[in-house]
Amino acid sequence: MTDVTLDTIANLAKKRGFVYPASEIYGGLRSSWDYGPLGVELLRNVRQAWWQAMVTGRDDIVGLDSAIIQAAEVWVASGHVDSFTDPLVECTSCNNRFRLDKLEDEHQCPNCGKRDSFTSPKQFNLMFKTFMGPVEDEGSTVFLRPETAQGIFINFANVVRTARMRPPFGIAQIGKSFRNEITPGQFVFRTREFEQMEMEFFVPPAEAEEWYRYWLEERRNWYLSLGMKEENLRLRAHEKDELAHYAAGCSDVDYRFPWGWDELEGIANRTDFDLKAHAERSGQDLRFYDQATDERYYPYVIEPAAGLTRSAFAFLLDAYHEEEVRGETRVVLRLHPRLAPIKVAVLPLSKKPELMEVAQQIADDLRPHWNIEIDVTQSIGRRYRRQDEIGTPYAVTVDFDSLEDQAVTVRDRDTMEQERVPMAGLVDHLTGRFAGLL
């Protein structure tokens, strides 16, 4: 196993086009990141794997895509306006600001080392505020959503009515969220703009504990099914004083990041807090009407809330591997084939027109099936290294013999084994290798 550092993965991500610092040509904007050609494919693949596991692969969960900007009352009712805060302190010596609860030593500034230089803590609200329309006054104040979950709660009655769902059932959503974090950092781990994958599972209150346990296992297994190493994952139950204002119970799926165990996903029993709060503030009846028993009740909610950008980062870390090959270090991203941005690379041995023509034909044949890259630059050794570093499961090499025997060489990223395969059977051959993995 390779213990990869944050710098190593950030450098690889930048060098190969996964993640670039945002606004780089203007000196960068701390905590914002842009996803490059490979990063955007990785995110799409994680998103797709989650959606398949949580929505299209089941008959008890439906999807939603709610607005990022909602009525300000949503965030009053949910408790975010009053309680979505972190304790902020400022060092009076160097003027840097910190989250009090994240300081290693509450008496010493981690920046300048000065002792007892902090101001008394003030509760800092993490929501980004802006104005809707041309007038900038209190009445036009709106917030960028700090979680996708509330968009789901306020559409509960719409979904029950139109999709004819009844508890236990879930509503899932993937999208951007925004938090004005006091201390963003550790590359893309904690950013002010990020993407979440959240699902609210509405259950009869008596079944809440059982479903909570169910979702803990399901969510842990999802990371394992995408190749994450078991020794790098753990479930950790929150202490009572860690629980969010809405939660009766919460556990994190933690990942062993380079700096230690940290949260990948939270799974919470949110009780009926949100539906009740929105019903009270909006005056709408958000109870579920159970025709079978002629009863109305507020379902409890079990919420698995994952970070898309954070889990893509963890998948990168987990896949990173270095090994010695013939006296040289080989870097290989052992990404699960489903997550690999490029599934097959087509590599003509030279740029000679007769090889290029065959390679182009092969790429055209493969492209309807998988995401393909045709790479003609540099030596074949360097091209293999590049494909290993971006996690491409298979490379297909077209050489001069191919013109004679109508066959190509298929190279396996992980074993580096090579096999000669007739061009006419290449799609079937690769379909067999990918069977059950995509």
**Alpha helix ranges (H) inside 115-259:** 149-153, 156-163, 208-225
| Nearest distance from C-beta of residue 136 to ligand GAP, angstroms | 26
What is the DSSP secondary structure assignment for residue 108, as one 8-state letter? B
Using alpha carbons, list the distances in angstroms from residue 19 to 15, 49, 187, 188, 276: 9, 20, 10, 9, 41
Stretch that binds ligand GAP, among 40-48, 151-159, 259-267, 394-402 (CB under 6 A): 259-267
Closest by CA to 4, choosing from 329, 274, 347, 431, is 329
Q: How many residues interact with ligand GAP (rule CB under 6 A)? A: 19
Q: How far apart are CA 281 and CA 251, in angstroms?
A: 29
3-class DSSP assignment, residue 160: helix
| Nearest distance from C-beta of residue 305 to ligand GAP, angstroms | 4
269 counts as binding ligand GAP under rule CB under 6 A: no
207 counts as binding ligand GAP under rule CB under 6 A: no
144: left (phi over 0), alpha (psi -120 to 50) or beta: beta
Name which position in 190, 219, 336, 411 contacts ligand GAP (CB under 6 A): 190
Q: How far apart are CA 38 and CA 36, in angstroms?
A: 6
31: left (phi over 0), alpha (psi -120 to 50) or beta: left
Q: Which amino acid is at 86?
A: D
| Nearest distance from C-beta of residue 42 to ligand GAP, angstroms | 15
393 counts as binding ligand GAP under rule CB under 6 A: no
Please say which residue, 167 or 266, places its beta carbon nearer to ligand GAP.
Answer: 266
The helix-helix angle for 6-16 and 308-319 (nearest 10°) equals 100
173 counts as binding ligand GAP under rule CB under 6 A: no
| Torsion angle of C-alpha atoms 289, 295, 300, 301, degrees rounded to 10 | -20
306 counts as binding ligand GAP under rule CB under 6 A: yes
145 counts as binding ligand GAP under rule CB under 6 A: no
Name which position in 181, 207, 254, 290 contacts ligand GAP (CB under 6 A): 181
What end-to-end distance do the CA atoms of the chain give, in Å? 25
Please say which residue, 33 or 288, places its beta carbon nearer to ligand GAP.
Answer: 33
Name which position in 179, 219, 386, 413 contacts ligand GAP (CB under 6 A): 179
In the complex, which residue's CB is closest to ligand GAP?
307
Please say which residue, 31 or 387, places its beta carbon nearer to ligand GAP.
Answer: 31
| Nearest distance from C-beta of residue 99 to ligand GAP, angstroms | 12
196 counts as binding ligand GAP under rule CB under 6 A: yes
Longest dimension (CA), the chain: 78
Q: How far apart are CA 411 and CA 369, in angstroms?
A: 18
275 counts as binding ligand GAP under rule CB under 6 A: no
Q: In the sheet where 85-90 sits, what is the strand order? A: 97-99, 85-90, 122-125
Token pair of 251 as six digits: 């556990």
304 counts as binding ligand GAP under rule CB under 6 A: no
Token pair of 121 as six digits: 């803590």
| Nearest distance from C-beta of residue 389 to ligand GAP, angstroms | 25
- Within 8 A by CB and 6+ apart from 296, the residues are 285, 287, 288, 289, 290
Stretch that binds ligand GAP, among 128-136, 307-315, 348-356, 412-420 (CB under 6 A): 307-315
274 counts as binding ligand GAP under rule CB under 6 A: no
Stretch that binds ligand GAP, among 7-15, 301-309, 318-326, 421-429 (CB under 6 A): 301-309
Name which position in 39, 151, 249, 307 contacts ligand GAP (CB under 6 A): 307
Interacting residues toward ligand GAP by CB under 6 A: 147, 149, 179, 181, 190-191, 194, 196, 198, 263-266, 303, 305-307, 309-310
